[in-house]
Chains A and B, each alone.
Chain A
Amino acid sequence: MTAFPPPDFVRTSSAVPGIDVYMPRPPAETHQAVVDFHCPQCDGVTAYSAENGGLTCTFCGYYEPPRQEVVGKGAAAFEFTVETMDRAAQGWGVERKELVCERCAARLTLSTDSLTTTCPFCGSNQVIQAKAPQDVLRPRFLVPFSVTADTCREKTAVWLTNSWMLPSDLKRLARTAEFAPIYIPYWTFDATTQADWRAEVAHTRQKRVFRSGRWETETVTEWRWESGRAGVDFDDLLVDGSQHLSQLLLHKVQKYDLRALVPYDASFLAGMQAQAYEVGLEEAWENGRQTMRERTKKACQAQATSQRIRNFSMNLSFADENWRYILLPLYLATYRYNGQPYQVMINGQTAVIAGQRPVAWKKVLLAVGGMLAPALILGLVAFLLLYLAVGEGYGGLAAIAAVVAFVIGLVVAIVTVSHAAGMDNI
């Protein structure tokens, strides 16, 4: 005989006398406003280590393995319930939080979008777990850091020297740059789109016409109505939840492998910076939907029998929409060169790097000069040969070669300059 009720069920209210109702025990409230990390052996400060994926003590070497298993793409996703959308619209409420350091009792003030802090007085790492407007709106999953700051420095050193357009003294800056590990808020969206489309599609054919006493071939365009249905499955479309980072740089590094997702645990954030979302669920979903509908539009247009179309219209519906709020690892570094700040971002999972680099414009101008020099020399030679009327026609050839060299030099110079401009203009 099994025990009744089972141990994982609790009694709940009943609206009918004579009937008792039991429901599954709700998950225990484990909310802890601030989690302080210190070593159980030496009471020193512990922090998450990207090198071995657990908590380590910088003083005694104590190691604590990660507490969460990888769930990957199986991480729970949530629906767009009316309740969630209403709560998400409320935002985080207060603008700044007051925090008392658990170790030295110092009073700290930090912005509401910060999820972690390090006490400036005692150096302890603290993770702030602010109550979200709804439980699902707190970060539930994250991809832990697997790239160390040392790897970032090496990567940056290579990156800062892999182009002749860069100043030659940049490499030493890579050694001095401070790489700040930060968890960036992201929304992931799943959905299936289904669209019915209709458009006029151009079909061309050749026609022979007799005009002005002779036969000519004429191309005739016929527009025919076509229609169809297309759908796209979107799986974990990433939408950035931060407003303060360069979107251009972020897009270059944000290719994450979400198969490494783990359930949120404060220990992954120890010693790191972490940001709560600034772009709310509704706004992020609006951005995600824009991406989805444009891709679906392309899928529809790809079904047309010709690439020339007009009067395109489509009706699109979304199904199976789900979302997740996750944290993704990123290193941020800023270095100064000639008094100017330059930003670098490194993917904390894949070490993909992107950023701004100063350009040695003198080198570039010299190179441009070198590119145009052959044309100048050939031009001079052509001028002399033609002016002095010597060389029996070599002057003309030299002039043609000068023009060709000029065009080639100009094209290469333009490409070089625009490439250089793109390096520090992000």
Chain B
Amino acid sequence: MAAFLDEATWGRPSALANCPQCDGVFLLPESGETAVPCPFCGQANLTLLGAESVPPQAENPPELLVPFSANAAQLPQTLARFAQSTRFAPADLTPQNLHGRLRPLFLPMWLIDADAQAQWQAEAGFDYQVVSHREQFHNGQWRTQKIEETKIRWEPRLGTLQRRYENETAPALEQHAQLEQTLGKFRRQEAVAYQPQALGKAIVRLPNRPTADAWPEAQEAIKSRAAEECRQAAAADHIRQFRWSVQFAGQNWTQLLLPLYTTYYRDDEGAVRRVFIHGQTGSLRGERRASMKKARRWALGIAVIAAVLFVLSLVLAAAGYFQPDVLLPALITFVLALGVGITAVLPLLLAWLMNRQQKSLPIT
């Protein structure tokens, strides 16, 4: 008996599956698909979880969701550019394949609400203007220019704080930082209240990071926001060296979903190579793998041409024994054969270099 979430839980009937390779847990839309490759690592097909293994992070629906806002009409061109700009692309790396396998995926972030009670202290910075001068001496005369410069006056401030902080974010995936570093930041301010229909047919990745692990980062996020609020409270223009002694209560953890498109292709060895597209900016990051098979075919073709030219130069050289006029063409053909022969190594070298330089996506 497989684990399913009925419509009452997330507003969309979903199946729970995990990836035996990367151990990621996903919510799949009920589509009847049987072999869904892991949209995250791509190394194995997802397997449905048993009914008894519903993880606690799946029990509550997310609170907020950042909708897909990348221009969907541009996606085929983006994928085509990627496929076509890959030299000696594997047979499987075609725009059609990439587009056909394109899947929307939502990544989780933790959302934390908490009451904070604190004593704080900081240095508050207040902008002020000072008058300075520049003088120019030219043709025996001085010309004075008055200028105003902005400086900051730092003053100590301290106080108490009793505030509730809502919807502070903390990574819910171990790979979150790498993901944002690779794809770019998500504009979280565009988040909207979760509506089941906004999920559509998207797969949802569930957190793999416990709230206890995420709590220190959440505290840092709350502290940053508190520092900014204290700056506003003190009517200061800047704040620095913010320190506080805080006690938290009333913590409430929910999720925020971030949009991502995933697709993949297979290289010569049949290994899955992932391609990710940022769901807001449309920027693409993928692993480029050159096909060594294709490179070898090219190399062989060039080598054959070189061999033909070489044979031709030998024939001309033999003819030159009888007719010295053809010795020069024989020499030229020989040099040409040599040049073409040397270029035969280029496809192999280029493919090898590309595969060597390309790094795997750091999200595993």
Contact = CB atoms under 8 A, between A and B. Distances in A.
Given A20-B160, A22-B159, A315-B136, A79 B151 contact: yes
A81 B126 CA distance: 13
Given A19-B229, A82-B148, A314 B132 contact: no
A289 B133 contact: yes
Interface centre among A19, A83, A313, A318 (most CB of B within 10 A): A19
A13 B157 CA distance: 12
Contacts of A82: 128-131, 148
Contact of B133 (A9, A14, A24, A318): A318
A129 to B, nearest CB: 26
A321 interface: yes
A310 B161 CA distance: 67
A314 B137 contact: yes
Contacts of A318: 132-135
SS of A interface (majority): strand
Contacts of B151: 79
A319 B234 contact: no
Nearest to A290: B142
B138 interface: yes
A316 interface: yes
A15 interface: yes
A38 B152 CA distance: 45
Interface in A26-83: 79-83
B235 interface: yes
Interface in B135-187: 135-139, 142, 144, 148, 151, 155-163
Given A15-B233, A16-B232, A83 B159 contact: no
Given A18-B161, A79-B151, A313 B137 contact: yes
A289 B131 CA distance: 13
Contact of A316 (B137, B158, B235): B137
Given A20-B160, A21-B157, A81 B137 contact: no
Q: Which range contains the number of B residues in contact with the other chain?
A: 20 to 34
Contact of A16 (B129, B138, B233): B233
Contacts of B232: 15-16
B133 A22 contact: no
B138 to A, nearest CB: 5
Contacts of B128: 81-83
Given A16-B229, A82-B148, A321-B132, A4 B119 contact: yes
Nearest to B139: A313
A14 B230 CA distance: 9
Contact of B234 (A4, A21, A312, A316): A21
A422 to B, nearest CB: 31
A153 interface: no
A53 to B, nearest CB: 36
Contact of B230 (A19, A23, A80, A289): A19
B229 A314 contact: no
A417 B134 CA distance: 46
Contacts of B161: 18-20
A6 to B, nearest CB: 8
Contacts of B132: 80, 317-319, 321
A314 B137 CA distance: 5
Contact of B134 (A20, A312, A317): A317
A293 B233 contact: no
Given A20-B160, A79-B151, A83-B128, A15 B134 contact: no
Given A79-B130, A82-B148, A24 B159 contact: no
Contacts of A12: 234
A6 B133 CA distance: 42
A23 B233 contact: no
A24 B155 contact: yes
Nearest to A292: B135
B162 A18 contact: yes
Contacts of A15: 232-235
Interface in A299-357: 312-319, 321
Contact of A22 (B135, B138, B139, B158): B158
Interface string B204-242: 000000000000000000000000011011110000000
A396 to B, nearest CB: 54
Interface in B109-123: 119
B137 A19 contact: no
A5 interface: yes
A24 B158 CA distance: 9
A85 interface: yes
Interface in B221-279: 229-230, 232-235
A340 B134 CA distance: 48
A84 B327 CA distance: 96
B134 A14 contact: no
A29 B129 CA distance: 26
A23 B138 contact: no
A387 B201 CA distance: 139
Contacts of A4: 119, 158, 160
A231 to B, nearest CB: 13
Nearest to B226: A19
Nearest to A316: B135
A23 B155 contact: yes
Contacts of A297: 137
B172 to A, nearest CB: 28
Nearest to B235: A15
A68 to B, nearest CB: 26
A50 B29 CA distance: 96
B238 to A, nearest CB: 15
Interface in A132-146: none
B138 A313 contact: yes
A312 B137 contact: yes
Nearest to A4: B119
A21 B133 contact: no
23 contacts: A6-B158, A15-B234, A15-B235, A16-B230, A18-B162, A19-B229, A21-B158, A21-B230, A21-B234, A22-B157, A23-B157, A23-B234, A24-B155, A81-B129, A82-B131, A289-B133, A293-B137, A293-B142, A312-B137, A313-B136, A314-B137, A317-B133, A321-B132
Given A24-B156, A83-B129, A289-B135, 20 more contacts: A4-B158, A6-B158, A13-B235, A14-B159, A15-B234, A16-B232, A18-B161, A19-B162, A21-B230, A23-B156, A23-B157, A79-B151, A82-B148, A293-B142, A314-B136, A315-B135, A315-B136, A315-B137, A317-B135, A319-B132
